[in-house]
Amino acid sequence: MKNKTQFIKTLGELNMKTPIKALVFDVYGTLFDVHSVERKCDAIYKGYGAEISQVWRRKQLEYSFLRQIMGQYESFKQVTLDALKFALEKLELSYDDVQLKSILAEYEKLDPYTEVEKVLSEVDDKQRVIFSNGSRDMLEPLVEQSRIAEYVDNVISVDDIKQYKPSPAAYMQVLNTLGIDREEILFMSSNGWDISGAKSFGFKTVWINRSGAPVEVLNLKPDYILQDLNGILDLL
C-alpha cells in the first residue's frame, strides 16, 4: 500500500496530542473472516460455497441498512438468516430448516484473522472493546469459542438500542457505555462504510483495508489506513 508509511507517521503525531483510552474494533471482516462460512456452504452445496458467501454478505449488509432507513429493525441474527435465504434463492438452491440452521451456526464459529490474538494481547494498556451490528446471541458465542475472549474488555452490540451502524445513535452508544470522550477512542473497521460513519461521528478512525479497496467517496476519509491489525502495534 503506497501510503502506509504516511498514515503510520500521522497516527503517531495525533496520539501525542490526544491520548487514546479505548481501542474499539468492529467484528465482522475486521477481527473475524466472514467468508470462512464458505466451507460449510460448500459442504452442503458443492461448488457454490464462495458464491453463496459473497451474495449472503452483500445482502446481509443491505438488509441492515434498509431496515435502519425504514425504521423496521430486526436483530442481526434475523437479518443474517433472511440474507442467507435470499442468497440461496438467488442461486436457485433448495433448502430446509436443518440446512439453514447448520449454515447460520457458522457465524458463531468464524475464523479470526491470524494476527488478531497477538495484537489484542499486546495492547492491554487500553480498553479493548468490540462494537458490532451483531446481536449478542451471535457475538457472545463467537467470542467465547475463539481464543480472544480473555483479551476483550467489553462487548457492545447495537441490538441493545436497536440502531444499526452507521447511524450516529449507534456510535453514541460507545460513548455512553465507556464514559469517555470521542477523541479518546480509536475505532477500527475493515468496512469502508463503517469507517465513514465513525469518522462523521467524530472518532479517530483506522481503516483495516484487507482487500486493497479504494477509499469511499464521501468526503470522510479515514485518519489512517493499514493492511491488517499488525500495524496497530507499531502505531501505539
DSSP 85-111: HHHHHHTT----HHHHHHHHGGGGSPE
pLDDT for residue 208 is more than 50: yes
Note the CATH architecture for domain 4-31+113-235. 3-Layer(aba) Sandwich (3.40)
Any idea where the domains of the chain sit in the sequence?
4-31+113-235, 34-108
Q: 90-100 burial string, b = 16+ CB within 10 Å, else e?
A: eeeeebeeebe
Q: What is the DSSP letter of 36?
A: G
pLDDT score recorded for residue 5 = 39
For residue 235, what pLDDT band results from cuts at 50, 70 and 90?
A: confident
- Max distance between CA atoms of the chain, in angstroms, equals 57
Note the CATH architecture for domain 34-108. Orthogonal Bundle (1.10)
pLDDT for residue 68 is more than 70: yes
Residue-wise pLDDT tens digits, 107-128: 999 999 999 999 999 999 999 9
Rounded Cα distance between 177 and 171, Å, is 10
Enzyme catalytic residues? 26
Ranking 54-58, 66-70, 78-82, 231-235 by mean pLDDT, the lowest is 231-235
pLDDT for residue 236 is more than 90: no
pLDDT for residue 8 is more than 70: no
- Global pTM reads 0.92
pLDDT score recorded for residue 1 = 41
pLDDT score recorded for residue 77 = 98
